[in-house]
A and B are shown apart, each in its own frame.
Chain A
Amino acid sequence: MFSNFQIFPEVASSMASKVDAFYFFMIGVSLFFFTLVVLLVTVFAIKFRRKSEDETPKPILGSLKLELIWTIIPFILSMVMFAWGAVLYFDMYTPPADAMNIYVVGKQWMWKIQHPEGNREINELHVPLGTPVKLIMTSEDVIHSFFVPAFRMKMDVVPGRYTTAWFEATKTGEYHLFCAEYCGTEHSEMIGTVYVMEPGDYQDWLERSAVASKSMAEEGAELYSQLGCNTCHEQETGARGPSLVGIHDRQVQLMTGELVKADDSYLRESILSPVSKVVAGFAPIMPTYKGQVSEEDVLKLIAYIQSLSYETAPSDIEATESERTE
């Protein structure tokens, strides 16, 4: 029980020390106000204790000056708290452009994780040290929450949409992964371990643990032809569906005239519920694949679509993949 007793959690990400610094600031301000209140109350309680039963103290109505002081000073301090907290929050949820993607699917009661290289793991997450990692997450059933205390990182994993978070590990080791959003019977066992490894060790691990020697994009390409996506989404103009080459993260014009960004969530929606956003110039003939593809398959299809760029034909995925991971 007393083994590895600690009061502060491990500091293992670039965010962790920043959050802790803010935490200490908050503790400092709180200690100041708490001490002030306790001191005032104690001193008054002793100094002005009732000495005889028929005391009639002089009434004091109040003081505008004091009211202003104890409104304005806490207000200013609280705005500092807001601003500091907001800056951290913004950083926490704005992944650097060069972050490597890892895909997370939560389900009652396990974490399923896929690396772009094709490696899959359950309730374990291996990541390289010093590399920003962006998590793209969704749930197959209820809401979960991906929480790594040592990284001061948490993000809900919500069915029906992608949520993202990122971290950059700064210390090798093994850290707790918890589900922080109550999700039913085994919520407290929906836990895992994050392994932070030296980049070289991470590469070794990728090779050692590869199940099939296929990347996510390659698996996506297979699904793409199995499901017949290519029958409509062909390269040449005049095909029944729009070309998907190079659309990832580009603007797409919808039938309604609206411009939307073709991000992961948009692509997911286009596959599972094609009628909700119809591309301008096309008939809404695409069938829904809801119920036919799992969340993990959708992620693979997206990885495949992402790998299609103008320069490379779909057959050159190999090249695209290695380009992207460089």
Chain B
Amino acid sequence: MSTTVEASHHSGTGENYLTAGYGLKSWLMTTDHKRIAILYLLSISLFFVIGGLFAVLIRIELLTPAGDLVSADSYNKLFTLHGLVMIFFFLVPSIPAVFGNFLIPIMIGARDLAFPKVNLASWYVFTIGGLFTFAVVLAGGVDTGWTFYTPYSSTYSKTAVGLTAIGVFITGFSSILTGLNFVVTIHKMRAPGLTWFRLPLFIWAHYATSLIMLLGTPVVAISILLVFLERVFGIGIFDPALGGDPVLFQHLFWFYSHPAVYIMILPSMGVMSELIACFCRKRIFGYSFVAFSSLAIAVLGFLVWGHHMFTSSQSIYAGMVFSILTMMVAIPSAVKVFNWAATMYGGSISYETPMMYAFGFLGLFTIGGLTGLFLGALGLDVHVHDTYFVVAHFHYIMVGGAIMGYLGALHFWWPKMFGRLYPEAWAKLSSIVIFIGFNLTFFPQFLVGYLGMPRRYHVYPDEFQIFHVLSTAGASILAIGYAFPVVYLIWSLVRGEKAGPNPWNAKGLEWTVPSPPTTFNFDETPVVTEEAYDYSRPVEGKVV
């Protein structure tokens, strides 16, 4: 891959979306989906760093059983802010708002999303929500946990719950707007010939994600608003002292927040299909099963919220219904994993950095999913619920699965977004460091969780220390692994080799346009005549 192709017949001028305007205003007032994607990339990267710093403090505190680094209250604020920032301000927007925004129009042969101004509005809404979160930190933080359980959040906490509630409420609308935009775009703006079953699986995954965003986010927004109303105006909804029902909040919260975990993982699954197809040069095995499993997850995901409440005093028969449905929602995920593995059979597999992340995803997501079954199995969940076992489970899914997918996407489409290649050896090395660091951080948490170490503990009995030491050691390695890409990706913007339109010899409309693409993506509307990932036909813009 030493030579590059000159940026193609599509656009002779060499002008692209990055050079289309330089002033701050040209960015802040842009309606170009690609520029909005970059705005999101900058915002969520900032939040990732902030959330990461909170995590570092938490891990250092847990190195010893005593509470020696920060006070109990500060510790509680740290894990709350860590969770809030990572979930609402990093992982939920991550792949959809950055790569979905950037790629959906190009992948379906459109000039932009259906509602470009709404798209920009969603970023502003997100930013306002983010500013609230900064205000919360200035106001002394918040200590309810990202789950806001009542009546602690609505009555007892002495921290800035109201401000946080407004911030989360507002941020929710950016998801809703993004979801709406994607659904309409995917329905209405596909290029001629691009039928539903020719769509890249990345699009299917984002379609399913968008449905959840549209249907679920209003529910969490309203539940958090109710907490706000009870807290500020004393309206009795959740606090039994005011005649409310504290467990009702858990139902409302998880009705969104379980589906929300699929908002976080489905886009990553979409990325996996793109990466595996490209680096195996194969059609995805069982395309329609992979596509429909996304929809199945989106639908079933709304029916399992009660699995977070097996010990909450919900009726044991309700628990049984939720458990059986939880088992069922795991099946489509298993189907995907098997189809990806089968795609590799008979392929032509190369191990470039994005594929390294795909390998990582397959292993870690499998562990995350299997341990999800432990938690969905009633008699076992009673013991491990609210322990580090759950902490390990969701990090395997959200960091091991979703963030691996995010990093895979970042490395796969970086050359497309910025027209430059990053140093492959460094990138590969950091993917390995991240994989090792991740496992060392989170695997010991399964063990200490089964031993009974509860989550959200600032101090803990001595016998758990060894596991926390391992975990903190792993986190240090992980932090180094995450720092590498920041350096070499920025370096590549200036010094990186020119990428050309299709550095990976990949299929898909995004690889037929120049890197970086022009403002309107295509000079003329493309006509699609082949299935997705049809690697048996010649690849356009191929590197020779």
Contact = CB atoms under 8 A, between A and B. Distances in A.
B529 interface: no
B151 interface: yes
Contact of A149 (B155, B451, B458): B451
A159 B72 contact: no
Interface in A79-109: 79, 81-82, 84-93, 108
Nearest to A291: B241
A225 interface: no
Given A1-B462, A60-B345, A184 B156 contact: yes
Contacts of A303: none
Given A30-B371, A88-B379, A143-B152, A60 B282 contact: yes
A306 B320 CA distance: 32
Contact of B379 (A19, A51, A150, A176): A19
Interface string B279-310: 01111011111000000000000000000001
A219 interface: no
B540 to A, nearest CB: 14
Most chain B CB neighbours (cut-off 10 Å) among A2, A48, A145: A48
For the complex, would chain B's binding face be called helix, strand, loop or mixed by DSSP majority? Answer: helix
Given A9-B451, A156-B311, A37 B348 contact: no
Contacts of A49: 349-351
Given A22-B377, A50-B348, A5 B466 contact: yes
A30 B370 contact: yes
Contact of B534 (A59, A71, A74): A59
A66 B342 contact: yes
B313 A156 contact: yes
A38 B466 CA distance: 28
Interface stretch (A120-128, A186-194, A252-260, A313-321): A186-194
B341 A44 contact: yes
B536 A33 contact: no
Interface in B308-342: 310-313, 316, 319-320, 323-324, 327-328, 330-331, 334-335, 337-339, 341-342
Interface string B437-464: 0000000000100111011111111110
A110 to B, nearest CB: 15
B493 interface: no
Interface stretch (B21-29, B360-368, B401-409): B360-368
B463 A5 contact: yes
A75 interface: yes
Nearest to B153: A142
B76 interface: yes
Given A44-B349, A50-B348, A187 B366 contact: no
Interface in A133-159: 141-143, 145, 147, 149-150, 152-156, 158-159
A181 B280 CA distance: 46
A142 B323 contact: no
Contact of B465 (A1, A23, A34): A1
Interface in B357-384: 359, 362-363, 366-367, 370-371, 373-374, 376-383
Nearest to A39: B341
26 contacts: A7-B450, A22-B380, A33-B370, A37-B337, A41-B363, A44-B347, A45-B344, A50-B349, A71-B331, A71-B334, A71-B335, A82-B324, A82-B376, A89-B310, A89-B319, A92-B382, A145-B311, A152-B383, A153-B383, A160-B241, A180-B386, A182-B149, A184-B143, A184-B157, A189-B72, A189-B459
Central interface residue in A88, A143, A189, by most chain B CB within 10 Å: A143
Contact of A81 (B280, B288, B347, B373): B373
A57 B362 contact: no
A-B residue pairs, 5 tightest by C-beta = A88-B379, A149-B452, A160-B240, A85-B377, A89-B378
Given A38-B363, A41-B362, A78-B327, A178 B380 contact: no
A67 interface: yes
Nearest to A88: B379
Interface residues of B, number: 95
A285 interface: no
Nearest to A144: B152
Nearest to A142: B152
Nearest to B358: A41
A189 B73 CA distance: 12
Given A1-B465, A49-B350, A86-B320, A154 B362 contact: no
A52 to B, nearest CB: 8
B387 interface: yes
Contacts of A63: 285-286, 342
Residue from B73, B359, B374, B381 with most neighbouring chain A CB atoms (10 Å):
B374
A62 B371 CA distance: 28
Contacts of B432: none
B346 interface: yes
B245 interface: yes
B484 interface: no
A2 B334 contact: no
Contacts of A143: 149, 151-152, 246
Contacts of A189: 72, 459
A159 B238 CA distance: 10
Interface in A156-170: 156, 158-161, 163
B315 to A, nearest CB: 10
Contacts of A34: 363, 366-367, 370
Nearest to A93: B316
A81 B378 CA distance: 9
Given A44-B345, A147-B386, A184-B156, A88 B378 contact: yes
Contacts of B348: 48, 50-51, 55-57
**Which of B287, B330, B342 is most buried by chain A, counting CB atoms within 10 A of its CB?**
B342
A324 interface: no
Given A1-B466, A67-B335, 4 more contacts: A30-B370, A59-B283, A74-B334, A89-B316
B222 to A, nearest CB: 21
Given A44-B349, A143-B152, A163 B289 contact: no
Given A44-B345, A49-B350, A141-B156, A84 B334 contact: no
Contacts of A84: 377, 379
Which of A9, A63, A78 is most buried by chain B, counting CB atoms within 10 A of its CB?
A78
